[in-house]
């Protein structure tokens, strides 16, 4: 069994992380309405997989104006 703290495993995990299409920074994963999305810590770009925007809209639309709430939530993280 391999040790996850070994340099080879750490390097592989680092290289496997998704990078920002705009600036190349490693993306952070954040949860919005329990949906994992990617946010760039450098350029602050938000990256969604197919169908995630629709899920966020459905879950955040319980009291209207879901897009405004989404941006407030993203800016607080």
Domain ranges of the chain: 7-75
For residue 12, is pLDDT > 90? no
Q: What pLDDT is stored for residue 1 in this prediction?
A: 47
d(CA 11, CA 20): 18
SS (HEC) of the chain: CCCCCCHHHHHHHHHHCCECCCCCCECEEEEECCEEEEECCCCCCEECCCCHHHHHHHHHCCCCCHHHHHHHHHHCC
With cut-offs at 50, 70 and 90, classify the pLDDT of residue 27: very high
pLDDT(48) > 60: yes
């Amino acid at each position: 069994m391999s040790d996850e703290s070994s340099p080879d495993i750490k390097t592989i995990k680092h290289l496997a992380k998704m990078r920002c299409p705009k600036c190349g920074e490693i993306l952070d994963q954040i949860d919005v309405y329990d949906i994992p999305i990617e946010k760039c810590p450098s350029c602050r770009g938000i990256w969604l997989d197919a169908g995630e925007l629709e899920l966020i809209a459905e879950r955040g639309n319980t009291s209207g104006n879901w897009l405004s709430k989404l941006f407030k939530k993203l800016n607080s993280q």
